Amino acid sequence: MAWHRKLPSGRFNGMYRDADGKRKSAGTFDTEDEAITAAELAEKHARGGGQSTNPTWAEWSTVWMQRRKVEESTRRRDQGRVDTHLIPKWGGMRLSEITRVQAQGWVDDDLSHLSPSTVRKCVAALGSSLKAAANAGYRCEAAARGLDLPALTPSPERWLSDDEVAAVRDVLDERYRLTFDLLLGTGMRWGEAVALHWDHVDLDGKAITVRWGWDGEVMKSPKSKQKRRIPIGDTLVSVLRKLLEDRGLGEAPRVEYVGGNRPMYGLILAGSKKGRPITSTSFSHALGASGRAASVGEGADRRRVGHVRPHDLRHTYASSLLQKGVPLETVSALLGHSSVLVTQRYADAGESRWDDVRAVLG
C-alpha cells in the first residue's frame, strides 16, 4: 500500500514497500497526488518485475520527470510542455500502445501550429520518457525516433554599430541605462548580469567575475559551469563607481544559492523586491521601443535602428571586439562559450577589417 510523507519543505515523499517488505522512496514531489501515483507505480514495478505492468504515459511521466537529472529551470520548462502538449495526447495511453505512426501524426497535426524549435523539444521529451521507460523494464516502442520534423529557421543574429548603440542609448529611459551599459560592456548573458554581486566587482583591477547565474528562482553556476573573469572599460568602471557611491554595497538577496556560499554584498541590478534580481520584461520592452524610436544617418540615408533585444547587446559586445582585432579564441573565453565553434557565428563581423586586408594586398 503506497503512502506519502510530508517534508519540512512542504513537498511530499512517495513511499512504498518492495517485494521483501522493505520501505522505499519513489522520490519527492510537489503534490500529494503525484507522490502517491509515483509510489503506487514504483510498488507495482518492484513487485511485478516491470514487464508485467503497463502504466499509462501520464503515470510514468510523473516518475520520469522526478528522476531526471536536469537543472530545476529546465525541469520547470519541460513540465510546461508536458502539461500542455504531451499529457493531452499521450496521458491516457499505455506505454505499449504508443507507436511511431501515432507520433508522426501528433507532429503533423497536433503540433503543427508551434514553432519548429518547440516541436523538436516536445518530441525530445516524448523520446526521453520512452527511452527511460524501456530502461526501467517497461515494454514500449522508440516511437519518437526517426520522425519527420519541421526544419529549424536560423535565429537572427544582430549586432549594433557604434552609431546605433549611441542612438538607442540616447532615447532609452534613464532607469534602464545601467542595465544597458552592463550588458554591452561585459557581454554577459541576462541571467549572469542580474546575478552579478558587488563581491565580484573589482573596480581597481577593472574586472568582474561571473560567478552566478539567476534562473528565476535560484542562484546557480553560470551556463558554462565555470566562473570567468572579464575586463571592463573605463566608461563602465565610472558608471559602477557612481552607483556604489549613491547606493552602497547592500546585502545579498535571500534566495537559494546552489553550489556555493551566499555572497556578502548585494546585486548590481537589484530589483525593488527585497533586493532580488530584476526581471527582463520591462527592460526588454523599453529596449525594443528605443530601437524602434532611434535613428541614424543623415538626409536620405537616415533610417530607424529597429527592434533590439537584450541578447543583441551580447552579440554587439562580441562583434565589436572582433572588429577591433581581438582574437576569436579570446572573445570565446570572455563570452563563456563551451567551444570556439560557438563563437564562430560572429566571424562575419571581421569583414569590417577587410579594408586593411585590401590595403595589404594592393
Task: Divide the 362 residues of the chain into consecutive groups of 10 and give the mean pLDDT of each group.
Answer: 81 80 80 76 66 79 82 82 96 95 96 93 94 84 93 78 96 96 96 96 96 89 85 96 95 90 94 80 94 94 94 93 89 88 70 54 53
Count Cα neighbours of 68 within 13 Å in the Cβ-side half-sphere: 21
User: Within 10 Å of residue 17's Cβ, how many Cβ atoms?
Assistant: 16
C-alpha cell at 12: 511530499
Alpha-carbon distance of 160 to 177, in angstroms, equals 16
Q: Which of 102, 8, 111, 24 is nearest to 63 (CA)?
A: 24
SS3 of residue 254 by DSSP: coil
Question: pLDDT tens-digit profile of 293-352?
Answer: 999 999 999 999 999 999 999 999 999 998 888 998 999 999 998 888 878 777 665 555
Cβ within 8 Å of residue 28, ≥6 positions away: 7, 11, 12, 13, 14, 35, 66
Cβ within 8 Å of residue 26, ≥6 positions away: 2, 14, 15, 16, 35, 38, 39, 41, 42, 43, 63, 66
Main-chain phi, psi angles of 58, to 5 degrees: -60, -40
Alpha-carbon distance of 289 to 176, in angstroms, equals 12
Question: pLDDT tens-digit profile of 112-129?
Answer: 999 999 999 999 999 999
pTM over 0.85: no
Q: Which of 66, 58, 55, 57 is nearest to 28 (CA)?
A: 66
Instruction: Identify whether the C-beta of residue 40 lies closer than 8 Å to the C-beta of residue 16.
Output: yes
Domains along the chain?
A: 2-48 (3.30.730.10), 57-136 (1.10.150.130), 162-357 (1.10.443.10)
